[in-house]
Structure 1
Amino acid sequence: MNWQYTPYTLWLGGTGIFLVLFAGYVWRSDSDQAVRGRYLATMLLITAAGYNFAYLLTLSQTALDIKLALNHIELVMLLPLTWTWLAYVQWYTRRDSNPSRRLVRVAGLISIGLIGMAITNPVHRLVYESATLEQVGSFVALDLVVGPGFRLYQGYVYILLLGSLALLTTAVIQTRGVIRRQAVSLLILSLIPGIAGGADILGLTPYTSLNLAALSSTISAAAIVVTVRRFRWLDLAPVSRDNLFDAVEDPIVVINGQYLILDSNAQFDNIVRHPSDTVVGEKLVDVVPELEQLFIEGTEPEVSEDIEIERGETTRIYDARSSPLVPTNQERLGWLVVFRDITPRKVAEQQLIQERDRLDEFASMVSHDLRNPLNVAHGNVELALQETGNEHLEHAQQAISRMDELIDDMLVLAREGQSIGEKSLISAEAVVSESWGTVDAPDASLVIEGPLPELRADKGRVRQLLENLFRNAVEHSEGSVTITVGSDENGFFVADDGPGIPPDERESVFEPGYSTNRNGTGFGLAIVEQIAKAHDWSLTIEESRSNGASFHIQTGE
């Protein structure tokens, strides 16, 4: 074989080696790009290197027949390079939906057909009609007379290239920051060989026998380096807005001021009355009639309502919310309406209401059925005690009173639980005084330390909380007891100088029915905990300064 050294030998050889090494780096890198993206990027670099090496060998050979054979290989490598570039750009811009992938596969099949035409050129001469050697400075190059097949080949390559340019241009427009600069760099990388090849086609170069598109690969390689180093090509990849729009699980529709649909995502098809290929241009209330009372023509489409939509045998409940689409420093473009499926929540709420109603009915029945015989027993024991003065009857009377207290506490737990009424701003000091007034404890005293915080709470339930804490301190103290209420960093505390609560029992005391006092119901502190939880307050037990119990309520205010 006869080989020649050209001014482009080191240029092309170095670029080819760089592309191969960089392909290995991309494939082995732990980048943000998914496996498909890394696979396509690697294949792109490998095919670019193959095209580069094919032209290097063609340029370095001096024998006409071998030079022509190598040129066929170079031509064959061009289509896989362009096709892989389009496939990568399609993935990069997140336009690789199933229809788009099928389009790329069709393009691949056409590429195979054109490659077959290039390989069989000696038979039909549609690609090259003739070939001769031309002296270009210090070396000889291949001078080709191309046929209609070659023009078809070139045209198809430029169609694929223009497709990738259109996708990258869209990415440049729709992205921002480093992602936009990254897309601009890839766009330039795409333009360089395209412009060089176009100059060849139009005869704007002094030597038509040189392949400027291949020679420009060094500039493209430099653009790759800039994209990786400065714009983090391997670390960041954009998400197209269309892809993001369809990825949202909630149905979304964009409308204008006349309620005409401008755009929608795939999930919106699930709630339209008659699904079709497109709803763009239709009135929103025509495709979703349930919205007719919400979107009244001539009014602003400001909506935040729950709607029930029945399709077939399925009924779903959606929280429909609209918001204006106003780009920065621009006029309003339309309205975005999001439909959030709240069916599971509504079903759960309805079940909870039914359970609460059943529990309330049960509690009322139990209260009625228990209180009637208790009242009879209490009256008869009291009469018998007045007549006989038997001390055993006093114990029976105390047991009946305790039973009455148990019923009261159980009804509070069953009916009110962790529910609270409307919150309002209340004076904690005033509520403490009111609660203390209901406690029958002549041997107990109350001390209020300093100003107490104002609370945003249900006043009636806070009184229940304090009354139960006061009674708990009185019931568990032998003799007199001093109860102190004061403020701390994030709430208030109720402390006493009684016997205290051992650390290993501080979790158990909030369990319904748990009591260390034989006369206690065991429900007082359970009620306290439920009221605290209903207000989103935290409740902890510590040892007081006088070795008693100290209940700290953190209100977060």
Structure 2
Amino acid sequence: MSLQFSIYTVPLALAAGLSAALVAEVFRLRDRRTAPQVLGVLVATTIWAGADAIRIASSDPAQKLLWQDVRFLGSTLVVLAVFLHALEYSNREEWITTRSVVALSAVFVVTNGLMWTDQLVGHDLVITGYRTATVGSTTVLEFDYGPWFYLNAAYSYLLLAGAMGMYVTEFLQRRGAFRRQTAGLILALSVPWALNGVFLLGYSPIDLTAFGLTVTAVAFVAQLHWFQLLDVVPIARSTVVNHIENGYFVIDADDMVLDVNEAGAELLGRPREAIIGTTVDDLFAAYPGVVETFRDRRDVREDITLHQDGERHDYEVDISPIHDGHDQYVGRVLLIRDVTERRRRQRELERRTEALERQNERLDRFANIVAHDLRNPLSVAKGHLELDRADHDPENLDEIEEALDRMDEITDDVLALARQEEATVDPEPVDLAECCLDAWRTVDTGEAGLRVRTARTVAADPSQLRRSLENLFRNSIEQGGPAVDVTVGDLEDGFYVADDGPGIPPDERDRVFESGYTTIESGTGFGLSVVENIAEAHGWSVRATESEAGGARFEFTGVEERPPDETGREAEPEGR
């Protein structure tokens, strides 16, 4: 074969060599999405550019005609490969079937068949004639084309226009890094179109379209190899709807955020462009514990609670794995739902349910009290009434009166407990010493004594605090006898009530606040339960311990202190 040197063979030979080299690289990545289409573009570009380079370098017209036929094989294959690439890139891979590929290839198969049979049959459907021409020192062939050539050209440009339309649609729908990457594909596909236009308009004597297609092929390989865009995003877009109210994130196998919807951006308070391309560690840097919890989890649904700006927020996290067509793991889809309001309503419903259960428990407890505790003194009263009818002994009337007093006492305590559990606290500044003296005066103290060693003013509901102190004083007298001494004094964040009676055994100190618990026959077992309920209603804590004198001591802590009166005082013992 006789050869001639032409400067135009250099870019075409380089394009063929580069495309052939990239074939090996893409073949290594053949399991990735769109790799077969990119491989088709590279093989077609290698054939087209290589055939053009040899056709120009050959000076023999017969050889030029042969490589012209080979060139058509590359030009038709590249159009088909680009169109199929656009289908899969734009998430229309369901259109790529054996039947559709055969249908799309039909025109190109006929074109290549007509090219290779034209010399034998002379049908002139593609090329009707040719002539030699000289461009500088290079001999080239100029062709006259038949009707099928123009039909093939129109069909090719139709497919290329369709591919460009799909790329442009993706460009308009995407944001941030993805939009820039799609713009790169559009520009790369425009290069061969521009070079072909330059040739058709007569500005270049040689068609360098194949060289331009190498630029397109390199761009496709870059997207496939470095950005890995084609592995994840189209599949993710088919996994969830593009526009959903929940936060939607696509994360690749390296924990980089590839896509996010507007709801996700709003959830994080950042623009989409600032989120795409960042790592999960950077995106959720304020919540490292959450990141570690979900780092290696691919399929999970779980609730999390975060505190943002001092407020509680509840979220449902739903993670689904993404696999490619070869079942290879390529990333995750992350859905985040803000369920703060729903969880708040659930907690409120649970709170109301618990309140109803507590109310039912109280009703059961009160029913037991009425059925059991009131029955005993009632039986006593009825028995002595029968005796009085028989012998008219005045002692029977005393026993009846005592039983009725006992029933009255039980009724008062039960009502106090019930009202306290339903009552609300309305705190105001209360002089603790004055309240102690008022409570002491309403209790049958006998020979008992009271020492008030406090000048503190506390935030409390005065009537409830007074009832609490009355119950404590009454308890000290019932347990310690009529000569017991009671002391009220200050703690660092509260106050105490102590006596010098027999005290409370250590193993019973937690039980004394239980409703109905008592160690004496005349006690109701509700007084200290009322005390605990009043403390809890105020947000205080109360505990039973031992006094310095070995008696009982009740300590109230968490008590809010208000400014004291002008003078404090220590109350002198009363009632002795």
**Structure 1 position 540 matched with structure 2 position 505:** no
Alignment correspondent of 1:49: 35
Alignment correspondent of 1:519: 522
Alignment correspondent of 1:465: 468
Match of 2:160 among 147, 150, 154: 154
Matches of 1:190 and 1:50 in 2, distance apart? 19
Matches of 2:19 and 2:425 in 1, distance apart? 85
**Structure 1 position 434 matched with structure 2 position 438:** yes
Shift of 1:474: 2.7
**Structure 1 position 502 matched with structure 2 position 494:** no
**Structure 1 position 201 matched with structure 2 position 160:** no
Do the aligned partners of 1:493 and 1:552 also contact (CA within 8 Å) in 2?
yes
Do the aligned partners of 1:19 and 1:48 also contact (CA within 8 Å) in 2?
no
Name the SS of the counterpart of 1:517 in structure 2: coil
Higher mean displacement: 469-478 or 520-529: 469-478
Matches of 2:27 and 2:480 in 1, distance apart? 89
Q: Following superposition of structure 1 onto structure 2, how do residues 93-242 of structure 1 map, counting pairs within 5 Å?
A: 108-109=94-95, 115-123=101-109, 125=111, 147-169=153-175, 184-203=176-195, 207-210=208-211, 211=213, 212-217=215-220, 219-220=222-223, 224=227, 234-236=255-257, 240-241=261-262
Matches of 2:156 and 2:347 in 1, distance apart? 63
Name the SS of the counterpart of 2:210 in structure 1: coil
Alignment correspondent of 2:319: none
Name the SS of the counterpart of 2:423 in structure 1: coil
Matches of 2:553 and 2:71 in 1, distance apart? 96
- CA separation of 1:449 and 1:348: change in aligned 2, threshold 3 A: closer
- CA separation of 1:12 and 1:409: change in aligned 2, threshold 3 A: same
- CA separation of 1:351 and 1:19: change in aligned 2, threshold 3 A: closer
Shift of 1:522: 0.5
Do the aligned partners of 1:55 and 1:71 also contact (CA within 8 Å) in 2?
no
Q: Following superposition of structure 1 onto structure 2, how do residues 245-284 of structure 1 map, counting pairs within 5 Å?
A: none
Alignment correspondent of 1:37: none
Alignment correspondent of 1:8: 18
Give the letter aligned to residue 474 of structure 1: I
Name the SS of the counterpart of 2:521 in structure 1: coil
Shift of 1:220: 3.5
Do the aligned partners of 1:356 and 1:415 also contact (CA within 8 Å) in 2?
no
Q: Which runs of 5+ in 1 are unaligned?
A: 21-42, 88-103, 132-143, 170-183, 247-337
Alignment correspondent of 1:406: 410
- CA separation of 1:403 and 1:164: change in aligned 2, threshold 3 A: same
**Deviation sequence 1:15-56 (CA, Å, 0-9, x none):** 637856xxxxxxxxxxxxxxxxxxxxxx8xx12433333333
Shift of 1:388: 6.2
Shift of 1:121: 2.8
Matches of 1:527 and 1:442 in 2, distance apart? 23
Shift of 1:60: 4.2
Do the aligned partners of 1:497 and 1:548 also contact (CA within 8 Å) in 2?
yes
Over the aligned positions, Cα root-mean-square deviation in angstroms equals 5.5
- CA separation of 1:232 and 1:516: change in aligned 2, threshold 3 A: same
- CA separation of 1:351 and 1:544: change in aligned 2, threshold 3 A: closer
Greater C-alpha Rg: 2
Give the letter aligned to residue 210 of structure 2: S
Shift of 1:440: 2.5
Name the SS of the counterpart of 2:155 in structure 1: helix
Shift of 1:515: 0.9
Matches of 2:354 and 2:486 in 1, distance apart? 46
- CA separation of 1:162 and 1:7: change in aligned 2, threshold 3 A: same
Q: Following superposition of structure 1 onto structure 2, how do residues 336-351 of structure 1 map, counting pairs within 5 Å?
A: none
- CA separation of 1:75 and 1:447: change in aligned 2, threshold 3 A: farther
Shift of 1:408: 0.6
Matches of 2:457 and 2:85 in 1, distance apart? 74
Alignment correspondent of 2:306: none
Matches of 2:359 and 2:448 in 1, distance apart? 38
Q: Which runs of 5+ in 2 are unaligned?
A: 1-12, 52-66, 116-125, 128-148, 199-203, 232-249, 268-340, 561-576
Name the SS of the counterpart of 2:471 in structure 1: helix
Do the aligned partners of 2:517 and 2:526 also contact (CA within 8 Å) in 1?
yes
**Deviation sequence 1:89-127 (CA, Å, 0-9, x none):** xxxxxxxxxxxxxxx68xx4388876444322345559x
**Deviation sequence 1:394-447 (CA, Å, 0-9, x none):** 555444322221111111223442432544444444433433332322444444
Give the letter aligned to residue 553 of structure 1: F
Shift of 1:516: 1.4
**Deviation sequence 1:136-162 (CA, Å, 0-9, x none):** xxxxxxxx9863333332233233323
Give the letter aligned to residue 189 of structure 1: Q
Alignment correspondent of 2:308: none
Higher mean displacement: 207-216 or 4-13: 4-13
Alignment correspondent of 2:305: none
Matches of 2:473 and 2:415 in 1, distance apart? 20
Matches of 1:74 and 1:443 in 2, distance apart? 112
Matches of 1:481 and 1:237 in 2, distance apart? 77
Matches of 1:543 and 1:67 in 2, distance apart? 105
Give the letter aligned to residue 466 of structure 1: L
Do the aligned partners of 2:513 and 2:528 also contact (CA within 8 Å) in 1?
yes
**Deviation sequence 1:300-322 (CA, Å, 0-9, x none):** xxxxxxxxxxxxxxxxxxxxxxx
Matches of 2:488 and 2:218 in 1, distance apart? 89
Give the letter aligned to residue 119 of structure 1: S
TM-score when normalising by structure 2: 0.51
Count, aligned residues: 384
Matches of 2:19 and 2:156 in 1, distance apart? 26
Answer 1 or 2: higher relative contact order, Cα 8 Å, separation at least 6: 2
Alignment correspondent of 2:301: none
- CA separation of 1:410 and 1:116: change in aligned 2, threshold 3 A: same
Give the letter aligned to residue 118 of structure 1: L
Name the SS of the counterpart of 1:147 in structure 2: helix
Shift of 1:534: 3.0
- CA separation of 1:59 and 1:405: change in aligned 2, threshold 3 A: same
Shift of 1:189: 1.6
Matches of 1:239 and 1:377 in 2, distance apart? 81
Matches of 1:537 and 1:554 in 2, distance apart? 6
Shift of 1:471: 2.2
Name the SS of the counterpart of 2:543 in structure 1: strand
Give the letter aligned to residue 151 of structure 1: Y
Shift of 1:213: 2.4
Match of 2:456 among 452, 456, 464: 452
Do the aligned partners of 1:425 and 1:454 also contact (CA within 8 Å) in 2?
yes
Shift of 1:503: 3.6
**Deviation sequence 1:316-338 (CA, Å, 0-9, x none):** xxxxxxxxxxxxxxxxxxxxxx9
Shift of 1:194: 1.3
Matches of 1:116 and 1:227 in 2, distance apart? 24
**Deviation sequence 1:251-281 (CA, Å, 0-9, x none):** xxxxxxxxxxxxxxxxxxxxxxxxxxxxxxx
Matches of 2:28 and 2:440 in 1, distance apart? 85
Do the aligned partners of 2:38 and 2:85 also contact (CA within 8 Å) in 1?
no
- CA separation of 1:13 and 1:347: change in aligned 2, threshold 3 A: closer
Matches of 2:381 and 2:409 in 1, distance apart? 15
